Amino acid sequence: MTTFLSRLKTSIERAGSPLCVGLDPDPAKIPKHFGYGAEGAQKFLEEIIIALWTKVAAFKPNTAFFEAYGSGGWLMLERLRIACPPDVLWLVDAKRGDIEHTNEFYARALFDRVGADAVTVQPYLGMAALEPFWRHTDKGVFVLTATSNPSAALIQELSVGERALYEEVARQVQASNLNGNLGLVVGTTKPAALASVLKIAPELPLLLPGSGAQGGSVAVLDQVKAAGGTALLNVSRSVLYASNGPDCIKAAVNEVEKLSP
């Protein structure tokens, strides 16, 4: 069976880029000529997918934006999965995490219903609770570690023995990576945390959000490359809403091409 890490590397090689484009359908920002509601959002995102799929390694729909549309949002998410070519990774940003029994159903919903190739999860209930996700050996599971939002440091940098909490998360994820399908989420706004994580778990793939609207630097890719690591660099709003006019799709393509190596 092909491992998730192998699939990830293949997708990056195919695109010639580690870019991952976030699909966050904000009703206030979707160009008006696509229409309104879930139907308009779906039309917009379908055009984004068609225009960008050869240029990016992954798409990352954030479930919060789809949930806000109600039942139509979940239907939109399922339809977009069908519209997305199978060569592109479908990384569902759900940030799920509960007790093991509940996670069984989260995993079923995300992998079986939504068709995720990978998901994001949070580790607060412990690594054993996340086993229902990582037992899907062909799927990727990215664990929140050092996130890009400023207030995260108040918790994630608390001391746990001789380590910061985020470093302990990285260590435990590394130790739990028995199926070779775990990864870490580290914000591009946290280059020092990234350097530490790369020392603790250099072989784990990374999801790097925070570039673009959040102010993170794409230069962190040089850190990852120097450590021999593998990463997806996520960009969302700066690409998706590069323009709100008739040229919005072309503007999105231009933004991706600017960021591509």
**β-bridge partners, 206:** 184, 231
CA angle 99, 63, 121 (to 5 degrees): 35
> Residue 124, exposed/middle/buried by CB under 10 A (0-12, 13-18, 19+)?
exposed
Q: What is the DSSP string of 112-156?
A: IIS--SEEEE--TT-TGGGHHHHTSTTSEEEEEEE-SSGGGHHHH
- C-alpha atoms less than 13 angstroms from C-alpha of 88 in its C-beta half-sphere: 27
Q: Which of 9, 55, 95, 139 is catalytic?
A: 95
157 with 166: CB under 8 angstroms?
A: yes
β-pair type (206-208, 182-186): parallel
32 is catalytic: no
Residues labelled as active-site residues:
95
